[in-house]
Chain A
Amino acid sequence: EPEVTQTPSHQVTQMGQEVILRCVPISNHLYFYWYRQILGQKVEFLVSFYNNEISEKSEIFDDQFSVERPDGSNFTLKIRSTKLEDSAMYFCASSEALAKQYFGPGTRLTVL
């Protein structure tokens, strides 16, 4: 079965640094998403992306966050200046439509 991949699996960074989390969605999918899960808490929607633009974003997705599909395969989440509270597991997902969102294994971000 096709799968979404994410790199790195674990990213450690200093507060104030920029990080880029990378995702390779399933190749024929059109919708792309980022979610985060703070340790021990629920999964939170960040942003959805379709047709090369943001479809919707949550209140969490402020100006510190940005997403990009720089080429035909990658989908990235950038955090410009990380804060301690950005420490979380970040999940990428993709789908053809809402029929099924395929989630990646996640990137654990630790901000020191």
Chain B
Amino acid sequence: AQSVTQPDIHITVSEGASLELRCNYSYGATPYLFWYVQSPGQGLQLLLKYFSGDTLVQGIKGFEAEFKRSQSSFNLRKPSVHWSDAAEYFCAVGNNNDMRFGAGTRLTVKP
């Protein structure tokens, strides 16, 4: 069965510091992987996705993620966090029929 694990429930970083949000997945076939961001009271916005090819994918807002098949991971990174990045981040794995989300990681940005 497919599943997604985000080990960190809450992360706090200082503005300007680097960020890495962890995501591990379990999937029976080649996974399609996604990262979404959700601001309080808002819907979900796609940051980036991985289907195949280059394992380092670039997304919006300066985010990137690296697919590592050997580790079943798809960690999200950003070299320098901005205060506006404070939000909930969800990793997801899926196919055309459904998508499974991780529990989310809440990012707090300190001034």
CB-CB under 8 A from B103, the residues of chain A are 41-42
Q: Tell me which of B51, B92, B98 contacts A48 (CB under 8 A).
A: B98
Complex CA gap A42/B9 in Å reads 11
Whether A45 pairs with B90 at a CB distance below 8 angstroms is no
Chain B residue total in the interface (Cβ 8 A): 22
- Choose the segment among B11-19, B38-46, B66-74, B78-86 that binds chain A (4+ C-beta atoms closer than 8 Å): B38-46
**Chain B residues near A (Cβ < 8 Å):** 32, 36, 42-46, 49, 51, 90, 92, 94-104
Return the chain B residue nearest A42 by Cβ: B103
Q: Is A56 an interface residue (CB 8 A)?
A: yes
Interface SS of A by simple majority? strand
Whether B96 pairs with A97 at a CB distance below 8 angstroms is yes
Whether B97 pairs with A56 at a CB distance below 8 angstroms is yes
Whether B95 pairs with A103 at a CB distance below 8 angstroms is no
Whether A106 pairs with B98 at a CB distance below 8 angstroms is no
CB-CB under 8 A from A11, the residues of chain B are none
CB-CB under 8 A from B43, the residues of chain A are 91, 103-106
CB-CB under 8 A from A101, the residues of chain B are 46, 99
| Residue among A33, A42, A48 with most chain B CB within 10 A | A42
Q: Say yes or no: A98-B90 contact (C-beta < 8 A), given A45-B101, A91-B44, A103-B44.
A: no
Give the distance to chain A from B61, nearest Cβ to Cβ, in Å.
15
